[in-house]
Amino acid sequence: MALSVLRKEICKQFSVKKAPIFVSRCASSDARTLPEDLPTHTGQKYDKNDYRMARFVQGIKHINPSPAIELIHNVPPEPKPDRIVSCNGGGGPLGHPKVYINLDKPGNHTCGYCGLRFYKDDHHH
């Protein structure tokens, strides 16, 4: 309803019988307030006057509430008795190439592809 009223006003102003679609879209964009810019997982947030905010005028900026890096950090490291472990990301079509990880040094060791962590379980028999 508001769009048609705005369209009629533009037609009166420019003495046009029927406003083209692009004019009404531009005018409706100006009539709306810009959406709030939510920060991404990297902290990226645009200023209100930044031209890159124009892409979110007619839609909303979708932000993932739980990025993958947070989900991976929630998985506890796996203890392994061996000095060298292999990781293939679960295998199959959704996995990654098999990599071998050396666990000689103390602490957690991360797979470079999927982020899973492993450590050497030093228990003596």
User: Hunting for tokens 């083209």 — which residue is that?
Assistant: 20
Domain boundaries along the sequence of the chain: 2-56, 68-120
Helices (H) and strands (E) in the chain, counts: 3, 5
pLDDT tens profile 40-76? 777 777 777 777 767 666 767 677 777 888 888 899 9
Q: Is the pTM of this model over 0.85?
A: no
Q: What is the CA radius of gyration of the chain?
A: 27
Residue 102 pairs with which residues in a beta bridge? 84
Task: Please list, residue by residue across 31-58, b when 16 or more beta carbons sit within 10 angstroms of its beta carbon and e when fewer do.
Answer: eeeeeebeeeeeeeeeeeeeeeeeebee
Looking at the predicted structure, is the pLDDT value of residue 27 above 50?
A: no
Looking at the predicted structure, is the pLDDT value of residue 36 above 60?
A: yes
Long-range (24+ apart) CB contacts under 8 A made by 54-59 are 57/29, 57/32, 58/25, 58/29
How is domain 68-120 classified at the CATH fold level?
HSP40/DNAj peptide-binding domain (2.60.260)
